[in-house]
Chains A and B, each alone.
Chain A
């Protein structure tokens, strides 16, 4: 695990000095982070990296999990899809299952934080335990066009929090609580993002029998409909008519995502018969993801909906040219034609892919611009600063706060 000092060569001394100033203002406060899974998915990944750094800075941060069975996570997955705007039939029994597990967690989970920081809908009902402490709800989901039945249900809980945090301006809704915009981040020193030797990259490619004789187009994502893996295959097939290339679709499954296996089967069917399509069900192995991203010629993220799109952040940090959908937090990261190419359709994605494969110098320029944009705005150091400011904001209501 990286130490705070190790970020100085990447972001500069003064950024780290600011973090120490802020941490000092939080002395004596206990921050309790709560979510539903310790591995898989972006939230667990951010917490894994962030909690030790906050602790090293002197902020007493702890991390707790709620419990839930298969039925609970099937319901929260339905909620997740419905919040992303996908058509889902939500029944009263779904709310009942959600409340049954939530009530058990309300009984079981020990709340001790001065600030309780709850991530995503799964643990949202814990706010019923709110006392004199401060509660903040962190929404990692694209709720720009949510299913109103689910949103209405969650809103009753959100209203009990002191503040809510979203990843993009378009996710903001009219709410009776303070709302903040905080983008997630990547850790440049984590296994997924650190520099790795060419031999490691070669070994990973060899393991998965990917040869570097053709340009590699890659999408790294869970096998999830909202990531549109079938759309990526379709876009690749259109590119393939004109350009020699290969496609890598790689991802794992999160423990709170029961739908993954079904989507993976559909993807395998769509890819069958084409030896240049590599479908990789990766175990949780960040070095392998890092190697695949670094080996790629172009990286795609053709999501239908996206909370933020951390795979885009990871790709840009590796100075890779990226083609990504104009959804969720992606346009915050990619300014079209400046730090990557945005698309709205399969046709648009395949056209952008062809442009980048055929204009390698342009592709390099986009990648380099993208890397600088990530350095300035989307690394974990900026995220740490904003979380500490958020915790401090819980004790102030004014727009100019003197600390």
Chain B
């Protein structure tokens, strides 16, 4: 096992803070939802499929995207709600592809269940399209090896973890998360990079994700040190 070495390039932690932008667009029926889901900016699709990750840091009975929630709770279309909730977001590398899957799911359901078009929400319960405006800032944390990395990972904000794991991969269209990219390119440790990359971050709270990554990296460091 090679000994713990300095990275070729240091890793700077960034953070991402966001504002919710309002679009003035709202849907009362599935047809309207479908039409608007095709037209709204990608930052709106991103918002409605990722909002819950940051707003509900404790375990809560929220379904994983706003489309699923609205279709189930407001229109009472449980089956479509389940289909939308189980879209496997981690499989998609672009918002474009994720949007297409959402659109296809609704279209296919409407084809099989034409009566669902008749349902509409009450006033005030419409689906309001919101978009996410992200502000990416460098933090003061720069690390040169895995020990330093894991120390910062333990104390950095969840917004920073969120940026490097979710936003960077899907919204900035990188194939992998930033942590895995750095570990592979700077240390050549593909095994460790892959073990982080294969976590499905959508099924963890961000705090649990932090703990899991720390555990994996610490185990690796112990192996480098010959203690593992």
B228 close to A (CB within 8 Å): no
B55 x A172 contact (CB < 8 A): no
A389 x B17 contact (CB < 8 A): yes
Give the Cβ gap from A170 to chain B, nearest Cβ, in Å: 6
B134 x A144 contact (CB < 8 A): no
Q: Which residues of B contact A401 (CB under 8 A)?
A: 133-136
B22 x A179 contact (CB < 8 A): yes
A180 and B20 in contact, given A21-B137, A377-B55, A399-B43 (Cβ under 8 angstroms):
yes
Which segment, of B80-88, B96-104, B123-131, B190-198, faces chain A?
B123-131
A347 close to B (CB within 8 Å): no
A21 and B15 in contact, given A172-B22, A401-B133, A403-B136 (Cβ under 8 angstroms):
yes
A169 x B171 contact (CB < 8 A): no
A399 x B24 contact (CB < 8 A): no
Number of A-B contacts (CB under 8 A): 95
Q: Which residues of A contact B130 (CB under 8 A)?
A: 169, 181
B19 x A390 contact (CB < 8 A): yes
* Binary interface encoding of chain A residues 152-174 relative to chain B, with 1 for a CB under 8 A from any of its CBs, else 0: 00000000000000100110111
A376 x B57 contact (CB < 8 A): yes
Give the Cβ gap from B215 to chain A, nearest Cβ, in Å: 21
**Those of B1-36 within 8 Å (CB) of chain A:** 15, 17-26
CA distance A58 to B86 in the complex (A): 46
* Binary interface encoding of chain B residues 28-52 relative to chain A, with 1 for a CB under 8 A from any of its CBs, else 0: 0000000000000111000000000
Partner of A172, one of B23, B132, B133: B23
B19 x A15 contact (CB < 8 A): no
> Chain A: how many interface residues by the 8 Å CB criterion?
38
Q: Which residues of B contact A390 (CB under 8 A)?
A: 19
CA distance A390 to B159 in the complex (A): 18
A18 x B15 contact (CB < 8 A): yes
Q: Which residue of A lies closest to B58 (CB)?
A: A372
A170 and B21 in contact, given A21-B139, A393-B133, A400-B136 (Cβ under 8 angstroms):
no
Give the Cβ gap from B204 to chain A, nearest Cβ, in Å: 17
A338 close to B (CB within 8 Å): yes
A178 and B21 in contact, given A400-B134, A403-B137 (Cβ under 8 angstroms):
yes
Give the Cβ gap from B159 to chain A, nearest Cβ, in Å: 7
CA distance A391 to B133 in the complex (A): 13
* Binary interface encoding of chain B residues 51-66 relative to chain A, with 1 for a CB under 8 A from any of its CBs, else 0: 0000101101100000
Q: Which residues of A contact B15 (CB under 8 A)?
A: 18, 21
CA distance A170 to B130 in the complex (A): 10
CA distance A50 to B43 in the complex (A): 29
| Interface residues in chain B, defined as those with a beta carbon under 8 Å from any beta carbon in chain A | 15, 17-26, 41-43, 55, 57-58, 60-61, 123-124, 126, 128, 130-137, 139, 155-157, 159, 171-172
| Interface residues in chain A, defined as those with a beta carbon under 8 Å from any beta carbon in chain B | 14-15, 17-18, 21-22, 25, 144-145, 166, 169-170, 172-175, 178-182, 326-327, 338, 372, 376-377, 385-386, 389-390, 392-393, 399-403
Instruction: List 28 interface pairs A-B (beta carbons < 8 Å), by A numbering.
Output: A14-B155, A17-B157, A22-B17, A22-B137, A166-B22, A169-B22, A169-B128, A170-B26, A170-B124, A172-B23, A172-B24, A173-B24, A178-B21, A179-B24, A180-B19, A180-B21, A181-B19, A181-B21, A181-B22, A182-B19, A392-B135, A399-B21, A399-B131, A399-B132, A400-B43, A400-B133, A400-B171, A400-B172
